[in-house]
Chain A
Amino acid sequence: MFDNFPLWPARASTASGNVDALFIFLLIVSGLMTLLIFTALVYFAARYRYRRGVSAEQIEGSIPLELTWTTIPFLVFLVIFAWGAVVYFKSRTPPRDSTEVYVVAKQWMWKLEHAEGQREINELHVPVGQDVKLIMTSQDVIHSFYVPAFRMKQDVLPGRYTMAWFHATKAGTYHLFCAEYCGTQHSGMIGAIVVMEPAQYEAWMSGGSTGPLSATGEKIFAELGCATCHRTDTQGRGPNLQGVFGKPVLLEDGRTVTADENYIRESILDPGAKIVSGFKPVMPTFQGLVSEEQLNALVAYVKSLSQPVATPTSTAAATQQDNPKAAGSQVQ
């Protein structure tokens, strides 16, 4: 994967090129600034070295010069800032139809679960040419999901979801590092991202699944008795969850929030935090009753209720979660 003495990291995602281009631009800009300053320093130091009988010429300063070297660097900085912001926004905004992978970090391992149900530990198989969105949380302390070859890093926090995404462009095996110090085996909390050609990936995907994550979620939804209140009609004591995900929700206190992953998560663990308009705060908390993995399955299930083509069977709903392009060729 690497030679013994690499000077440049592998470039394996759409983001890598964007980050590298800005990095190279900055190398050039800062190289020129360094050259300018060092040349001036060396030249002045040599040209104006002490000579007997020659004394220094006192200069008070120069307002035009001060304004020049205040304004020009600032303008250059603004360009860097704007470019950096564009790259950042791109790398932080997952495309709509990304394949989803749920990540649970804990001291000191990565647990990954594909929306299709495959589970992996410290290893993530993904195909070339697909947008993959990571929905991540931690069971204990803060970790950070870092794949240098993708130029992608996102802290993984306990008690909430953080998101990241990538679009792999080159098959290969790449480092996955934990980048936020997390205790004794921090440097052992590493893994591999295996990027495969689509055909091989499909072969890989055909084995090992225990059914889609949303189906698991549906089972848990039934077991916990959620369906008694969250009914599919308007008569339930809790809101009907069909089609809720991704939509704005009007709350009892007048605020409107978007029903995203973190909202679903909070509503399960801390139901009193945001009460939907027209409902009473009667739901008990499920804090401590559901594991992070079960929570992910529940979130996946609620999401599956809002897929563009509403189908009654959960299996069909789960398939909808895939990238439509990929879903067509999926061998399940």
Chain B
Amino acid sequence: MSMATATIQTVERENYLNKEYGVGSWLFTTDHKRIALLYLISITFFFFIGGFFALLIRLELLTPAGDLVQADTYNKLFTMHGMVMVFFFLIPSIPAVLGNFLVPMMIGAKDLAFPRINLLSWYLYIIGGVMMMHCVLTGGVDTGWTFYTPFSTAFTNTKIVEAGLSIFVAGFSSILTGLNFVVTIHRMRAPGMTWSRLPLFIWAHYATSIIQILGTPVIAITIVLVAVERTLHLGIFDPKLGGDPLLFQHLFWFYSHPAVYIMILPSMGVVTEIIACFARKRIFGYSFVAFSSIAIAVFGFLVWAHHMFVAGISLYSALIFSLLSYAVAVPSAVKVFNWTATLYKGSIHYDAPMLYAFGFIGLFTMGGLTGLFLAALGIDVHVTDTYFVIAHFHYIMVGGALMGYLGGLHFWWPKISGRLYPESWARLAALIVFLGFNLTFFPQFVLGYLGMPRRYFHYPQEFQVLNVLSTAGATVLGVGYLLPMIYFLWSMRYGKPAPDNPWNAAGLEWMTSSPPTTFNFETEPVVTWEAYNYDELDKPRREEVKVVG
């Protein structure tokens, strides 16, 4: 607790935001916190672009006939929705924004190990993003985000190579971020910050980084192979040229399945921090939660062919991939049980971040359990490539990953911006997002089991009622997502100045000023306590509150 005394509250004390002004001070910054903000602005932009596509998709599906847009336009809409959301929002979301901001602060470091590479990774992301936007504005792509061959290499006449290259470039941004985190976590922990004292957010990011480093090169290679076959007609995937279309699917999913864990693991890390803080407790089974992250990262690499049970793989390989898929479900279940157990005998507060964390557990549980359906070979045959799959992965990637991201953004917003957001609006938004999400995606489980295939521009009459429900939900969800953007922006000007530790939370990031100074800590912290020392924090609570004001 000695760190708290090192900061003195003044009206306009110097921090990373007001230290320098001007466009150049942002575009050439090597401060991880400023780069995190650059990412925050850019991914928010792509989130709303991807969301706009989703809105058009849902509007088209309001009626069974294809009447709002052309078939080709619809195919481009769901393709661009997937590509933008996966590669330009979900994958960078928590690591590049919250991870960038918090990894050095949580371990007591001044910055990431390679600040310039960190800036480079943002530029790569932006170059990839500009290429993607150029591709969208000049015609787009219509293959689905999955680029299945030989459709992508020999049949479509849309901008495959350009879209592929934009993902290729953005992929390097992801690799560099992962590399930076791994080196930082290994080399730059403050004295006393042992591995077993690390916040679980760090463990989650460490596991994520491993996937980013090992998985992303495979998608990069795959994209190059697609481009080579498309431009030079070298037979790799197209059977007409002697290639094998299933080879593409193996390569694609070897990255794209672990990519789901790139999205969800950091979110699990965020939720762990939030639950500990708002239950005022050390996380139940710290080491099990930590190692379950690593287990997910490792097993996550061994389940890719569960996307291919009806693609024409052999019965026996399907058997093995089904079994391994159940193996990867175990560590996820372990996390859910440990979060729940953490609440036991806690002292629970219901601030907005905690509401998002509750929402995360609920939606992630449902997403995970429906994953059990898909991993069951006999059921997968019926529901794969239907709306059941769409609902399942949105429960994980939107219900899970995005809920965690929003929860984290609320939790650390006082630290990031130095301002408090309006709490009651935030609680309302969390509720709207939760209800809107379920209304949007729950009907899709039913649609899927009824047999409505995904990527359908028009559909049989009998599916309409459920589609109308889903579109109605999407509208509510849209409102839920706009609200935080509005009140976060509002709070930057009108919000109350945040104290250094508004939640009285554990963790080094709360022991420095809000917003922090450029080098995070006045003096290098020395850690003498375990993670989540809420018992110590809550004992001298009354006196400390007075000091902070």
Q: Which residues of B contact A3 (CB under 8 A)?
A: 462
A41 to B343, CA, bound (A): 8
Q: Which residues in chain A, 65-81, are within 8 Å of chain B measured between CB atoms? A: 65-66, 69-70, 73-74, 77-78, 80-81
Residue of A nearest to B332 (CB): A73
| Interface size grouping (class) on chain B | 35 or more
Q: Are A44 and B453 in contact (CB under 8 A)?
A: no
A45 to B455, CA, bound (A): 40
Q: Are B458 and A153 in contact (CB under 8 A)?
A: no
Assess whether B535 is interfacial by the CB under 8 Å rule.
yes
Q: Are A159 and B240 in contact (CB under 8 A)?
A: yes
* Total residues of chain A contacting the partner, CB 8 A: 88
Q: Which of B362, B465, B535 is the one whose CB lies under 8 Å from A5?
A: B465
Residue of A nearest to B376 (CB): A84
* Residues A148 and B458 in contact in the complex (CB < 8 Å), given A26-B372, A50-B349: no
* Residues A55 and B343 in contact in the complex (CB < 8 Å), given A66-B334, A175-B451, A183-B142: no
A165 to B366, CA, bound (A): 32
Q: Which residues in chain A, 103-148, are within 8 Å of chain B measured between CB atoms? A: 107, 140-142, 144, 146, 148
A73 to B375, CA, bound (A): 14
Q: Which residues of B contact A152 (CB under 8 A)?
A: 381-382
Q: Which residues of B contact A61 (CB under 8 A)?
A: 284-288, 338
User: What's the nearest-Cβ distance from chain B to residue A317, in Å?
Assistant: 29
Q: Give chain A's interface secondary structure class.
A: mixed
Q: Which residues in chain B, 379-394, are within 8 Å of chain A measured between CB atoms? A: 379-382, 384-386
Q: Mask for B84-119, Cβ within 8 A of A = 1, else 0?
A: 000000000000000000000000000000000000
* Residues A19 and B378 in contact in the complex (CB < 8 Å), given A55-B538, A159-B240: yes
A33 to B238, CA, bound (A): 44
Q: Which of B312, B377, B379, B451 is the one whose CB lies under 8 Å from A26?
A: B379
Q: Are A62 and B148 in contact (CB under 8 A)?
A: no
Residue from B284, B318, B451, B456 with most neighbouring chain A CB atoms (10 Å): B451
Q: Are A182 and B378 in contact (CB under 8 A)?
A: no
A207 to B240, CA, bound (A): 36
A45 to B346, CA, bound (A): 9
Q: Are B246 and A22 in contact (CB under 8 A)?
A: no
A7 to B442, CA, bound (A): 13
Assess whether B27 is interfacial by the CB under 8 Å rule.
no
Q: Are B71 and A84 in contact (CB under 8 A)?
A: no
Assess whether A60 is interfacial by the CB under 8 Å rule.
yes
* Residues A58 and B378 in contact in the complex (CB < 8 Å), given A65-B341, A88-B318, A187-B455: no
Q: Which of B319, B370, B451 is the one whose CB lies under 8 Å from A148?
A: B451
| Among listed B7-15, B185-193, B212-220, B275-283, interface-contacting one | B275-283
Q: Are A45 and B348 in contact (CB under 8 A)?
A: yes
User: What's the nearest-Cβ distance from chain B to residue A260, in Å?
Assistant: 13
Q: Are B346 and A44 in contact (CB under 8 A)?
A: yes
Return 6 A-B CB contacts under 8 Å, by A number. Answer: A41-B361, A56-B538, A77-B329, A158-B239, A175-B451, A187-B458
Q: A26-B376, A61-B287, A179-B384 are in contact. List 12 more A-B contacts (CB 8 A).
A: A22-B376, A41-B361, A45-B350, A58-B534, A62-B284, A66-B334, A84-B379, A90-B378, A142-B148, A159-B245, A180-B148, A187-B456
